[in-house]
Structures are given as C-alpha cells and as structure tokens.
Amino acid sequence: MTTTAATAQPAWTAERMPRLDGSTVIVTGANSGIGLEAVRAFARQGAHVVLAVRDEQRGRDAAANVEGSIEVRRLDLADLASVRQFAAECTGDIDILVNNAGVLMPPYGLTTDGFELHFGTNHLGHFALTNLLLPHISGRVVTVASGEHRSGTIDFDDLNWATRRYGGGSAAYGQSKLANLLFTLELQRRLDASGSHVVATAAHPGMAATNLGSSMTNPVLSAVAKVALRLFAHDATSGATPTLYAATEPMPGAGYAGPGGKRELTGPPVLVGRSDAAADAALAARLWGVSEQLTGIRYPL
C-alpha cells in the first residue's frame, strides 16, 4: 500500500478573503502604510470602508486612489473629544473595526488629555473608540500590535513616563504594544462573559516598509531602521495581510496573527505566540480598569 503525504495548505494571501458585500469596515490610520493597503483589500472585496484619519485632506488624497465604496472621516486618537465625536456620528452597523493607527518613537510629548503619546494614542485612544463603538459592532475588532510587545512592561506607577527616562521612546512604544494585546485579551473575556458574538483579535505586520517611523528624532535609531527596512522588510501590502487574516479568517478569541517567516519578520500570515506578560489575564484586567479610569469610558455590553 502506497502512502501519500498530505498536501500542504497554500500560503494565505489577501486573494483568499471572502466577499464582504454589504459590510462596513472602519480602519484607523488608513491614509498610508498597512492601513491603506488593508482599505484597498476590504474595498476590493465589496465592503464599504471608512478611513478614520487625523488629516482629512491626506485621507481624501489616499481615498482617491482606491476603487470601491469609500468614506473619509476625521479621527484624532490623541484627543478623546475627537474619539467621542467620531463615535457619536456612527449610527449604522459596523462589521469590522481595525484599530490600526499608531505612533512610533516621536519626541516625548503628551496627548490633548495629558497622556504620553504612545500610550495615549496607541492604547487609550483605541480603547475608548472600541468601547464607544461596541454597540454597533457585529463581527470583529482587530487591534494591530507589534513584535515589540515582547520588550514592553506596564509601569502602572508611571504610565506617562513622567519619572522614567524616555530616551528615544522605544520602551514607551513597547509598553503601548503590550497594552494592545492585553486590551484584546480582556476585551474577549468581557465579550464572552456578556454573551456577545463579536470576536476580538490582534495582528502584527512583522517588519514592513512604511512611514510609521517617520517621526523618529534619534539619528542613530533612524539610520539603523532605514538599513533594516531596506535589507529585511516586506512591503506594506504584505505587511497588511496579518490584519486581513485576523479580520476575516476563522480565529480563536484573542487570537494573534503575524508573519510566518523567520522571527516573524516577513512571510504569509499565521497564528503566532506572544509574551507571557501579554497572556496575563490579571494584568489585562488591571490595565482595563486603569484605562476606564483614565478615559472615563467603560465596557458597554
């Protein structure tokens, strides 16, 4: 009897996404990079896509090069008043929310509400947005994290880096990306407890050639980043595929998608692991409670 080896599954690509006709998708930070590439893919599959962007003109310029049903709306995640206004104007059903926007190592600064820029934008802004929109969401909440979450720690005594050395901001970025995964973990727990059918997932793009690091001010880090991107990165289209996978493929609650290649830098999307801290349910619950206190916004379901 001859045994035939099982046929390997082909690598996942955006072309394997299901049709999304009649669906509404919101993508934050959608005017460039992996956010814009995700918009293109969602629109190509028939979804109505809302580009939630800080700069409406840049959003309109980006949308002009996307085929499909597109809407541009202003959202500044570093300003909770803007988050509240955006959410208040959302009245229809939302099938997928992609929390994609983020800042990477800008000079030390604070959001409008007085939070350190990384923590306030990457985590608290999306925390507030998601909770305000949850009554309208029927499908997925996808939050874009990073492999840099592994270097992150949550310092509850100094979330705003008032006493710690900020340096170039890499540690602050790591804290915010760890917060993204802890947010996804606790959000899924709450969704399950309230009987919701919404699924919270996360994704990271690996090393993608985008303009995310354009705000870096440390010349050494900036030079190293440029060389690394040139040598090892994949393009923004490939970097967006883990987000698309997490948004449309069957995924476990709080599942995390990333590139399947060496060190998760490049390659087709697969389910990936996370640090022990990012899987700590007690830490996730504590961060959620603090985030509610800081934003004044609570889980609505």
Place of tokens 């059903």: 93
Q: H-helix or E-strand containing 34?
A: helix 33-44
Q: Nearest-CA neighbor of 97 among 38, 144, 145, 27?
A: 27
Are 67 and 44 spatial neighbours (Cβ–Cβ below 8 Å)?
yes
d(CA 280, CA 152): 13
Percent of residues in the chain assigned helix, strand, coil, to nearest 5: 45, 15, 40
Task: Determine phi and psi for 47, rounding to 5 degrees.
Answer: -75, 155
Angle made by CA atoms 114, 116, 120, in degrees to the nearest 5: 80
CA Rg, the chain, in Å? 18
d(CA 41, CA 24): 13
Identified catalytic residue from 173, 245, 256, 299 = 173
Active site residue 173: yes
Which is it for the CA torsion 57, 141, 214, 238, positive or negative? Answer: negative
Which is it for the CA torsion 21, 23, 29, 31, positive or negative? Answer: positive
Place of tokens 């961060």: 287
Catalytically active residues are 173
